[in-house]
Structure 1
């Protein structure tokens, strides 16, 4: 099957029902996308498919064939994406496990809502759980990323 991941076409030999998460991690070596719950409730496995956030743990790979898939590794090669910059500047990460999913959801939000309110952020990231409770720093980083995106 042909997949378009992080700007490159990749030929993958996988069963059609294999979850995208395992294709990315096990077959493609893109380990930034995390396994959290396996039932699309925690958000650790969030990737973008055609620009929209999607839970990779429950998405069969056949459902995304021919679509543009972006993982945390594909946001930027050097961490220069505004959300990644803001995450580092605000020092969001505690354990870090949920952060790739948080960042991917935040990046998708800023494409559609360039100046989000606290409510917009809370709603867009409500499906991303952080066991360490860094929600205040996450919200602050999304606001900072919005500022950085404006230049």
Structure 2
């Protein structure tokens, strides 16, 4: 299999520095062989990608925001948990929160942005269970926030 970092570059990303917690929590908690990655926002070097699906953002833009969340999850695994991506055994589960209007019903399509990136970078180890749902608002006006459970 191709090195996951090289696969990430094929998507146009470098592994960023991990985002620091903005409240009283840790970015990654480990118990045994499981990593619980705290919710990662749709953010990059330019800041938080904000928006409301079904209002100021469409599904494609939301999927791109979810992709950023997945990149930030990988950064937490490597930098905060100290686990190289090639040592990830499996992405177990994602919980995807999508800031949206009540009439928006395509949260699952937004979540595909993250899911597709993780499978693309990690291969079969990136396949996971998932929940995706809409919320009225997220911290800093973020469009998407995703938490993950990862086996190492």
Q: Whose RCO is larger (CA < 8 A, sep 6+)?
A: 2
TM-score with structure 1 length normalisation? 0.29
More helix, by proportion: 1
More strand, by proportion: 2
